[in-house]
Amino acid sequence: MDEASALGALASLAQPTRLATVRRLLAAFPGSLAAGELARACNAPHNTMSTHLGVLAQAGLVQAERSGRSVNYRADVEAFRALVLFLTGDCCGGRPELCGDIAELISKSDKSPKENVMAPAFNVLFLCTRNSARSLIAEAVLDRLGAGRFNAYSAGSEPAREPMPEVLDRLRQLGHDVSRLRCKSWDEFTGPNAPRMDFVIALCDTPQGQVCPDLGERVVSAAWPLPDPAEFGGSAVERTTLLNELYGMVRRRIEIFTSLPFASLDRMALKKRLDEIGDTARTAP
């Protein structure tokens, strides 16, 4: 933890309700608590508690977790260990063993994040009818922009036999790895062994008038209508220009999506933000 992060964490705790909230969450760890339960326990109005939780989430001390239609909150104990390490790292003249129990806490914190922390990653499924162009572009872009924080998938209601060659060529030229891109049915994501999706984003209005598959209550869905490259006409140069414009639209939307403050937004707020991203007028290049 650097000085700026430590100052942010300490500032977030310098308020009675937020301090009480953190103590409740630490006591409940590894369990989580709903905002309403925390509001009652801390004798705070529900809307005020939501604001306090947003401040704590922004400081990295709590994490929001979706549970069906509700959002629960859990203390981030690794963040607290990092804060203690920052405050005590130079204690006792570089001999932390003189600090008693603090030494054990420091030793647990002073490890590589890969050993100590499992960073959560959201699963995102992009849908279109044939899964041969738009959804593959989105999958490739999110793979690059969201590496480590998002797992990108794509599928279609009536998948083509293979991706559009000019789409794959353009993605290669833009430096994307296309080795794993293939056309597949959305049925692959409905079975008991399929990865559970957090977000499902349709890139056409509704694939051929069909109803998108039911992937569970926890999924946040949205529509980002985009032009279909299969309908692009003109010369090869004109089609390449249109593909570049489509790529720019997809990338812009995904850049906005990956920068959302997920820890401080509940399911309804996320749904609203995704719908706003899908508004072509807001995100046109």
Identify the helix (H) or strand (E) that includes residue 128: strand 122-128
Domains and CATH numbers, the chain: 3-116 (1.10.10.10), 122-283 (3.40.50.2300)
Give the integer Cα–Cα distance in Å for 111 and 245: 45
Cα R_g (the chain), whole angstroms: 23
Q: What is the dihedral sign for C-alpha 191, 194, 198, 199?
A: negative
pLDDT digits 0-9 by tens, 178-208: 999 999 999 888 877 788 888 999 998 554 4
More confident residue, 224 or 204: 224
The yes-or-no verdict on residue 16 having pLDDT over 50 is yes
CB burial of residue 164 (10 Å; 0-12, 13-18, 19+) = buried
Helix (H, G, I), strand (E, B) or coil at 220: strand
Helix (H, G, I), strand (E, B) or coil at 275: helix
What stretches of the chain show up as alpha helix (H) in DSSP? 3-13, 16-28, 35-41, 46-58, 77-88, 101-109, 113-116, 134-145, 165-173, 236-258, 267-277, 280-283
pLDDT digits 0-9 by tens, 128-184: 989 999 999 999 999 999 877 899 999 998 999 999 999 999 999 999 999 999 999
Give the integer Cα–Cα distance in Å for 93 and 276: 54
What stretches of 174-266 show up as alpha helix (H) in DSSP? 236-258
Paired strand residues for 124 = 152, 199
Percentage, residues of the chain above pLDDT 90: 34
Give the integer Cα–Cα distance in Å for 104 and 226: 54
| Residue 131 backbone class (left: φ over 0; alpha: ψ -120 to 50; beta: rest) | left
What are the φ/ψ torsions at residue 224 (nearest 5 degrees)? -120, 75
pTM of the model: 0.58
Average predicted confidence (pLDDT) for the chain: 81
Percentage, residues of the chain above pLDDT 70: 80
Q: Give the range among 132-136, 153-157, 222-226, 279-283 with minimum mean pLDDT.
A: 279-283
Helix (H, G, I), strand (E, B) or coil at 198: coil
Q: How far is CA 126 from the centre of its chain?
A: 14
Query: If you ran DSSP here, which 8-state letter would residue 93 be given?
Result: G
